[in-house]
Amino acid sequence: MRRGAFLLVAVGMLALAGVAGRAQDVSGGGSAATPAATEGRQVYEEICQACHMADAKGGGGAGAQIPALAGNAKLKDKDYIVTLLLKGRGGMPWFTEMLSPAQMAAVSTYVRGHFNAYPEPVTEADVKRVAATLDAPSKPDCMTCGN
């Protein structure tokens, strides 16, 4: 793994430790101390913003091109952002071991609504549904047997 990518993932993991700890705080009768909207913003600011920038317009430099999340038509399909979080892409790592499905849903909803005009929320059920399709076994691609 390239040194820069390794450092980025390490910083993200350290930042997540603080987010995950707060997300699990429960006060009184079992309701979360921070609502999902606030949690989505916190995850974005503490993890995603390091690469995608505060304005979510991405950027480039040192040979890396970070895609913009703001004004990104691909995010109209809520499964697209969920798939990116679950599988990663290019220099972006997957976050299945760092973020819970609820946190993935919260940050996806935040990015789609705050930086784009896609107000439909991404739910934890959406994340689990997409994850199930990604985990589904694929048919072998065998050129010699025709399958």
pLDDT of residue 12: 47
Q: In the chain, where are the structural domains located?
A: 3-135
pLDDT of residue 59: 86
pLDDT of residue 137: 56
Q: Which CATH architecture has domain 3-135?
A: Orthogonal Bundle (1.10)
pLDDT tops 90 at residue 52: yes
If you average pLDDT over every residue of the chain, what do you get? 78
In the chain, % helix, strand, coil (3-state, to 5) comes to: 55, 10, 40
Encode pLDDT of 117-134 as tens digits: 999 999 999 999 999 999
CA 120 to chain centroid:
16
Rounded average pLDDT over 51-70: 88
Rounded average pLDDT over 7-17: 43
Longest dimension (CA), the chain: 63
